C-alpha cells in the first residue's frame, strides 16, 4: 500500500511534533518546571509515528514510561499532556499521574505505565475484549528491549498466540535498558527471534526508517483485523537522550550518541526522502516546524496558566462507588 501526499506530510508533521514536544519537555525539566522524572523518546519518532499512523482512532494502545511519542502519534491533546507533566488540574489525569501515567481512553490509549512490561497483559485483555465484543479493532502494545525480558511478556505473547488475538507486540529496541546495553540483558541478538516460540510472525525493521516501520505496521494491523492473530514487531532504534533527564550516562560514549544523532536521525532521513520525492519543499518543511512550534508554545502557555489542583482533590477519583 502506498501512502498519499497528505498522509506522508501528516506523518512528518507528527514526527516533528514529537521531537519538539520532547525537546521542550527536556528544557522545562531542566528549568525545574516539571516535578519527578521524565523519559524522552527523541530519536525514536519513526517508531511511534510509523506504528500509530497505521491505527484507527478506535484502536487500542498501551505504552510505557517513555510514552510521550506514542500518545502524540495516537492523537493525544498537547495542552492536556503538558498540563499533566506540570501537575496541573487541567492535565489528562488532573495532576494525579504525571509523565509516566497519561492515558486518553477516548482515543483508546489505555495508558502509559510506570511498571516496565506492565502494559502487555492489559493489551492482551483488550485483545480478548475485542474478540468477545466481535469488533475489528486492534491493539498495539509498545515496550522496550529491557521490558522484553520480563515474564509478563512471555505470558502475554503465549495467550495472544493461542487465542489469535488482534495484538501487535511492538518492542522498541533502542539499545539500552536504563544503564544496561541490550546485548548484556537479552539472550538473543534480534528479539523478533522469540516470536517463533509463540507461533506468530516476528519482524525486525530499521526503526529509524518511518516508512519501513509503517509498512511493517500496516501488515501487522491487516493480519490482526483479518482475525489472523498477533504479530511481533521489533523496531531497532536508538535512545538519544539519557534514560531519564539528568542521567549521567556513564554506560556509553558520547561519540556513540553523536554518530546516531548525525547519521541516523529519523526526521532528517524522512525529510530527505520526502524532499527527494518532491513531497516536501524547504518552505513547506519550515512551515511545518513553525506551525508545530506555535502549537506547542500554545500548549505550554495553557499549562502554565492552568491552576494546580486543590489539595483535597487528592481524595477524589479512587473509586466509582466509595
Partner 1 sequence: MAERRLSASAALAEALREEMTRDETIFILGEDLVSHSGIFGQFKGIPENFPGRIIDAPISETCVAGCGVGAGLTGMRPLVDFHFSDFVTCAMDELCNQAAKIRYMFGGQVKLPLVVWCPDGAGLRAAAQHSQSLEAWFVHTPGLKVVVPSEPADVKGLIKSSLRDDDPVMFFQHKRLFAKEGPVPEDADFIIPLGQAAIKRPGADLTFLTYGSGYHLCLQAAEELAAQDILAEIVDLRTLKPLDMETVAHSIQNTNRAVVVHEACVTGGFGAELAARIQVELFDYLDAPVLRVGAKDVPIPFSPVLEDYVLPSVAEVIEAARAVTYR
**78 within 8 A of 86, measured Cβ to Cβ:** no
**Which of 27, 30, 105, 114 is the binder for ligand TPP (CB under 6 A)?**
114
Residue 114 touching a copy of itself (CB under 8 A): no
User: Where does this chain touch partner 1 (CB under 8 A) — which range of 2-10, 11-19, 124-132, 279-287?
Assistant: 124-132
**Which of 124, 195, 203, 210 is the binder for partner 1 (CB under 8 A)?**
124
Cα–Cα distance for residue pair 221/239, rounded to 1 Å: 26
Site string for a copy of itself, 165-204 (x = CB under 8 A): -------------------xxxxx----xx-xxxxx----
Residue 149 touching a copy of itself (CB under 8 A): yes
List binders of partner 1 among 232-291 (CB under 8 A).
248, 250-251
List binders of Mg ion among 137-156 (CB under 5 A).
144-145
- Please say which residue, 163 or 251, places its beta carbon nearer to ligand TPP: 251
Residue 218 bridge partners (DSSP) = none
Q: Which does 248 bind (CB under 5 to 8 A by kind): ligand TPP, partner 1, Mg ion, none?
A: partner 1
**Which of 43, 50, 95, 230 is the binder for partner 1 (CB under 8 A)?**
95
Cα–Cα distance for residue pair 226/241, rounded to 1 Å: 38
Site string for partner 1, 175-214 (x = CB under 8 A): --xxxx---xxx----------------------------
Alpha helix segments (H runs only) across 2-150: 5-30, 45-52, 68-73, 78-85, 119-133
- Alpha carbons within 13 A on the beta-carbon side of 289: 12
Residue 42 touching ligand TPP (CB under 6 A): no
Residue 96 touching partner 1 (CB under 8 A): yes
Residue 154 touching a copy of itself (CB under 8 A): yes
Phi, psi of 117 (to 5 degrees): 75, 5
Cα–Cα distance for residue pair 143/145, rounded to 1 Å: 7
Residue 252 CA: distances (Å) to CA of 25, 174, 180, 189, 248: 23, 13, 10, 19, 10
Residue 230 touching partner 1 (CB under 8 A): no
b/e burial code for range 155-184 (CB count within 10 A of at least 16 → b): ebbebbbeebbbbbbbbbbbbbbeebebee
Query: Apex CA 286: angle with CA 283 and CA 287, to 5°?
Result: 85
Chain residues binding ligand TPP by CB under 6 A are 39, 65-66, 114-116, 144-147, 174, 176-178, 239, 243
Chain residues binding a copy of itself by CB under 8 A are 149-155, 157-158, 161-162, 184-188, 193-194, 196-200
Amino acid at each position: 500500500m502506498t501512502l498519499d501526499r497528505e498522509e506522508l506530510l501528516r506523518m512528518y508533521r507528527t514526527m516533528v511534533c514529537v521531537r519538539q514536544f520532547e525537546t521542550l519537555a527536556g528544557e522545562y525539566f531542566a528549568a525545574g518546571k516539571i516535578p519527578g522524572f521524565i523519559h524522552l523518546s527523541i530519536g525514536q519518532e519513526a517508531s511511534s509515528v510509523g506504528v500509530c499512523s497505521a491505527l484507527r482512532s478506535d484502536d487500542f494502545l498501551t505504552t510505557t514510561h517513555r510514552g510521550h511519542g506514542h500518545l502524540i502519534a495516537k492523537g493525544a491533546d498537547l495542552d492536556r499532556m503538558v498540563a499533566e507533566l506540570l501537575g496541573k488540574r487541567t492535565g489528562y489525569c488532573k495532576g494525579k499521574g504525571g509523565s509516566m501515567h497519561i492515558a486518553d481512553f477516548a482515543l483508546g490509549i489505555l495508558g502509559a505505565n510506570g511498571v516496565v512490561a506492565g502494559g502487555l497483559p492489559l493489551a492482551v485483555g483488550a485483545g480478548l475484549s475485542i474478540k468477545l465484543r466481535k469488533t475489528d479493532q486492534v491493539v498495539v502494545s509498545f515496550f522496550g528491549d529491557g521490558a522484553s525480558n520480563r515474564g509478563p511478556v512471555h505470558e502475554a505473547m503465549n495467550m495472544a498466540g493461542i487465542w489469535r488475538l488482534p495484538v501487535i507486540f511492538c518492542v522498541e529496541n533502542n539499545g539500552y535498558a536504563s544503564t544496561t546495553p541490550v546485548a548484556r540483558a537479552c539472550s538473543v541478538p534480534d528479539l523478533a527471534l522469540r516470536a517463533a516460540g509463540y507461533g506468530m510472525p516476528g519482524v525486525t525493521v530499521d526503526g529509524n526508517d518511518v516508512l519501513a516501520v509503517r509498512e511493517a505496521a500496516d501488515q501487522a494491523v491487516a493480519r490482526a483485523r483479518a482475525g489472523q492473530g498477533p504479530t511481533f514487531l521489533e523496531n531497532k532504534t536508538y535512545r538519544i537522550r539519557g534514560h531519564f533527564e539528568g542521567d549521567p550516562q556513564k554506560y556509553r560514549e558520547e561519540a556513540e550518541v553523536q554518530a546516531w544523532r548525525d547519521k541516523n536521525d529519523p526526521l532528517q532521513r524522512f525529510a530527505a526522502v520526502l524532499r527527494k520525492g518532491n513531497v516536501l519543499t524547504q518552505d513547506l518543511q519550515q512551515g511545518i516546524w513553525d506551525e508545530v512550534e506555535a502549537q506547542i508554545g500554545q500548549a505550554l502557555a495553557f499549562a502554565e496558566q492552568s491552576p494546580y489542583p486543590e489539595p483535597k482533590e487528592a481524595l477524589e477519583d479512587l473509586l466509582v462507588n466509595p
